[in-house]
Amino acid sequence: MDRETKKIAKRLANKIIKEVGPAVREYAGTQLGGTEIKIGADGTPTSYIDQIAEEKIVNILKNADVLSYLISEEIGELKLGKGTKRIIKLSHELKRTDLTEEETPKFIFLIDPIDGTSNAIKEIPAYAISIAIAEVNQGRLATLNDVELGFVYNLANGNFIEAEKGKGCHLNNEKLIPSDNVKINKMTLGGFTKSGTSEASKLVDRARRMRVLGSVVLELSYVASGRYDAFLDLRGSRIIDIAAGKLILDEVGCIITDKYGHELDNVLSIYEKSIVVAANNREMHQQIIDILNDNQVDVIGKIGIISRIDQDKPILFSAKLIDYILTNGCEVVIEKQLSDKLIELRQNPKLNEIIEETKEIYPEIADMLDDIDFNIDYAKLSQDLFDFECDMATILGGDGTLLRAQSRLKPEIPIFGINMGTVGFLTEIEVKDTFNALHEILKGNYYKEKRTRLVVSHDNHDFTAMNEVVVMTNKPAKMLHFEIRVDGGIIEEVRADGLIVSTPSGSTAYSMSAGGPIVDPKVAGFVIIPICPYKLGVRPFVVSDDSEITVKLLKKGKSAVFVMDGQITEEADYEEEIKFKKSNKDAYFIRTSSKYFYEKVKDKLKEGGIETNNRCNNE
């Protein structure tokens, strides 16, 4: 926004606050003010006092000399100004390219008329109006990062906070300064936790004090002003509640993200919500994120190396990796098969030619293959995967290599995947980024991501799978007849070529190819997908991961095989049952990237699953 445009926006915001304040105070603490009159656009009950406040806002913007879009808690999304009022869907409106300059609104107002309505009704002095203003950029959706002005006015005591992007933030014309506390045990924490969240309970137990004020906008401003050290809402806050607060926190140097430490840049919409974690400084924020995700980092002192061994590229790269880790003062343990291959390669009289040829084929890692030290006793460092004892297992390969290794490693060993396969959805980084990532990990700049695993029980034997279990006929072109039970109740009888039971991690693998949904790894569930079912109405099921799934073969004379993660194959016969339930031991991945799951889906799951120019090289 230019200076003149900001003046107009500020003038409208101040007028809203000036008129809404007295109107709300008139009905605060009254029976009429607390009367519920409808359900608002956000799906929550609207009280009379809410409607009074919102009517004032709508009237001001309707009669303004400029056009504006309004997102408000009770009425939803409107286009207002120059005497007009029209209900719109903002996402559609912003994408229009047919509006003239005269028809295009100047501002997007995100307003919560009263945040803390219950407090206002009961005359508890903690309720406020929140106003965030973004400039309209027609032709694209607006996000939280487009907000340029933020105002929070405490309707109970008159305190007024205003923030301007790049210009700072003030409370009653005094600069806001957050606290400098970095110790969890001295922390004042505000906000809302969620029942059954053990990690949140750990955080609350470690904090010095916990406040539940009942007003998101005020509590976010309390972090900025030093009254709180941190605030979280694990229920999910509406974007209209956090838009002004985010700008206020940004302008004083506080940190506000989602539960996983990802930046908040949600689309501006009445429907958008986000879990919020805000803190006075980066050090405090990181401690909170680690506790909430059970990601307290450990010192990495010993690193295991596992690699695909069917190509020279990963074997050579593993040699460079071993050299790097030892040089940086860490211990190394190597999978025995890899150790044997390294020794074989070292003894090959054409070793230098193999290195040069590999550098020519893969120029992106050519520099990394210079000066490899092969004078290492690989045999002394080697060990069977089942016996690995290390702080982190580094796996060079694609998803198949990673799943093979994961099935043999102790589940408590966290995995760090370096993609040397085709897609590498489960891996963390591409090979070119290896040494930068390891440098950060050895400094402790990483987090652990937890992934659910399946326990598969059959014939008094238990197996585990991290991606999926596929049950199918051992004879091509023959159908099987399944009975599927969840917690003892029959949910389906189906004739099909096979059946997949998938974890969220496996939802982007065979499950997806068979028509199953893509499931965020944070979802606590399993997916059951019939493969080519005979019955038209059969569709995939998503069930709780607290449930036990039982699959029974009903066709006499037909047996089936079931395959765990493409690694382990077992047989099942007529009337035998295969049971699936959540393992009490999760898998853990070392993560260094803040890239969210859906970004990875878009990056990795391109047509064919591979980059066109790498198809030949990555087979």
- Say how far apart CA 244 and CA 229 lie, in whole Å: 18
Look at residues 121, 138, 132, 148 and name the one whose alpha carbon lies nearest to residue 49: 121
Which of 146, 241, 399, 565 is labelled catalytic? 399
Q: Which of 225, 207, 101, 88 is nearest to 154 (CA)?
A: 225
Per the structure block, which two tokens stand in for 549? 């799934």
DSSP codes, 490-511: EEEEEEEEEEEEE-TGGGGTHH
Radius of gyration of the chain (CA): 29
Identify whether the C-beta of residue 85 lies closer than 8 Å to the C-beta of residue 58: yes
Provide the H-helix boundaries in 501-596.
510-513
d(CA 439, CA 444): 9
Is residue 381 a contact partner of residue 339, using CB atoms and an 8 Å limit? yes
DSSP 8-state secondary structure symbol assigned to residue 178: -
Three-state DSSP string of 94-105: HCCCCCCCCCCC
Residue type, 163: A
Region for residue 586 given its phi and psi (left: phi exceeds 0; alpha: psi -120 to 50; beta: otherwise): beta
Question: Is residue 567 within 8 Å of 403, Cβ to Cβ?
Answer: yes
Phi and psi, residue 4, nearest 5°: -70, -40
CA dihedral (231, 237, 240, 246) positive or negative: positive
Give residue for tokens 């009942």.
214
Q: By CB neighbour count within 10 A (0-12 exposed, 13-18 middle, 19+ buried), where does 307 fall?
A: buried
Cα distances (Å, whole numbers) of residue 190 to 209, 294, 370, 428: 9, 20, 53, 34
**In terms of Cα–Cα distance, which of 320, 452, 391 is closest to 590?**
391
- The encoded tokens of residue 572 equal 């099942």
Q: What are residue 195's phi and psi, to 5 degrees? A: -60, 140
User: Is residue 462 annotated as part of the catalytic site, yes or no?
Assistant: no
Query: Strand pairing partners for 68?
Result: 80, 107
* Strands 84-87 vs 45-47: parallel, antiparallel or unpaired: unpaired
Beta strands 480-486 and 84-87, pairing class: unpaired
Active site amino acids: 399
